[in-house]
Structure 1
């Protein structure tokens, strides 16, 4: 019987494992190695690791965890999760059935890019979704914000920290109010509502936004507004409640509405998407598991 199973090997899952391993809890971490940031060449905003490649971050994290004998790492997908008599049964893709007292869901989310030709090839190279993560790298460039979603004004305002040449393209959608357009115009930010034919660039670097009416807009970097969804159905299977953004609802330490199930990282904080937030979330969930196990044992 394991003390805890962690499902997901991103910064949240890894940091939860570190806390639990150092507390001498017997745990197993499952990771099918399909990270959200696989298209990203560098991760930023994490002190001592600013600019690190995600694959290197993960290698170093595994190296840290391997120091603790009570941690087992499994490169395997979890396909089933249920609770029986206060014990969790975790089924894996190889057919194994694992028993655990607690479960941490750190399964992350999947991003859903707008269906615009050329966007996928540029995403993670010259077009990004988090200004705090990649704004510095695109400083002083001619930026475009591509979005079909309402509420994009906040991102546009954030980007003025890094560039004074910003144009918003809504791909034929009417997503901004008249008041929002006036506010942006007062700062020299244009809003173009024409439909986008495709994004043109070479070797991952954006060069132009091409519209269906034939107009062309020179840009050399940008950000995109997009939706995200849970990367795994396990939260739904076990009955976790979610908020209006689709994130799993938790208390401040990651406890969900299902006793014994915790959630951390992007899977609960969505749409937040910073490495440092995810790691912090994992640490809190690990602390909560240790505390709750001790409460039960005493």
Structure 2
């Protein structure tokens, strides 16, 4: 790639990064989108709750989006991994794994998060297919089915309450001794939620579609869907390296203008919020692009 200097470098080329790229491209900005091609929803067969694209494959949505962003000739793409970022007098310097160096006045991180999967046999194969994180994204497709939740304590109680909107055939697997309060336990039982405290050994499945939860004592429970809240980390360490603050929940801290705690650095998409959905990623990326463009205008219009 001949061009090395840009108005904006966007790190992360999935829904949020592409949306920001379109916003900036339509603002006539010189933009580089760096993407390693590893979206967190790569296993998910269908995307939902995004109007005009409901039920479409995630990869189809992103491929169509990239084609549309490519229409704007001031936006370029780089297939690779950004591994180093420095603050300079004029902005930022981004180095890729291949050793290419690019400069930009502003940087947007749309890099998402990386899920830390538990060491339960079959979990990884089912994640995003029948082991789910969000009922708004996938609950309709498994409504009224035999469903399990893998969680404990306050999170388990609130998650069970939430999922009960989509199915009453519900069991809460605490994967060990329950940390629910007596009051929470009684409320769940009153609402027909079965509480299972045995440790989980495996998920039996067929190509990612779960059929049974197998416990370490040998018991099995038939299910068609599982919801799980699992730990995660920032997919990209560069914001932290640059001094951007990470909040208590583990997300890149941004204000209502998508600005991080470091001037000139912005964040959007799943890296910044627990509301993981295509629609919200697109929205935050589009808004971040507009804010970045306005900041550039204010700096130049002297």
The TM-score normalised by the length of structure 2 is: 0.95
CA distance in 2, matches of 1:213, 1:29: 50
CA distance in 2, matches of 1:295, 1:91: 27
1:276 aligned to 2:279? yes
Gapped regions of structure 1 (runs ≥ 5): none
1:93 counterpart (90, 94, 97):
97
1:156 aligned to 2:190? no
1:285 counterpart (285, 288, 293):
288
Per the alignment, residue 209 of structure 1 pairs with 213
Structure 1 residues 13 and 149, CA gap change in structure 2 (3 angstroms): farther
Cα offsets for 1:158-200 (capped at 9, x unmatched) = 2122111000001114332222111111101011111112221
Question: Residues 149 and 225 of structure 1 are in contact (CA less than 8 Å); yes or no, is this contact kept in structure 2?
Answer: no
1:259 counterpart (257, 263, 266):
263
CA distance in 2, matches of 1:55, 1:203: 19
Question: Residues 148 and 225 of structure 1 are in contact (CA less than 8 Å); yes or no, is this contact kept in structure 2?
Answer: no
CA distance in 2, matches of 1:175, 1:59: 44
Gapped regions of structure 2 (runs ≥ 5): none
**Which structure 1 residue ranges, 4+ long, deviate > 6 Å from structure 2?**
none
CA distance in 2, matches of 1:150, 1:33: 35
TM-fit CA distance, 1:237: 0.8
CA distance in 1, matches of 2:270, 2:129: 21
Per the alignment, residue 133 of structure 1 pairs with 137
Question: Residues 150 and 156 of structure 2 are in contact (CA less than 8 Å); yes or no, is this contact kept in structure 1?
Answer: no
CA distance in 2, matches of 1:173, 1:93: 45
Question: Residues 153 and 178 of structure 2 are in contact (CA less than 8 Å); yes or no, is this contact kept in structure 1?
Answer: no
TM-fit CA distance, 1:230: 0.3
Cα offsets for 1:77-115 (capped at 9, x unmatched) = 111111111420011112111111000001110111222
> Any residues of structure 2 matched to 1:230-269 within 5 Å, and which?
230-269=234-273
| Number of equivalences | 297
CA distance in 1, matches of 2:122, 2:73: 47
CA distance in 2, matches of 1:203, 1:100: 44
Per the alignment, residue 221 of structure 1 pairs with 225
Q: CA RMSD in A?
A: 1.3
TM-fit CA distance, 1:148: 5.0
TM-fit CA distance, 1:149: 6.6
1:4 aligned to 2:20? no
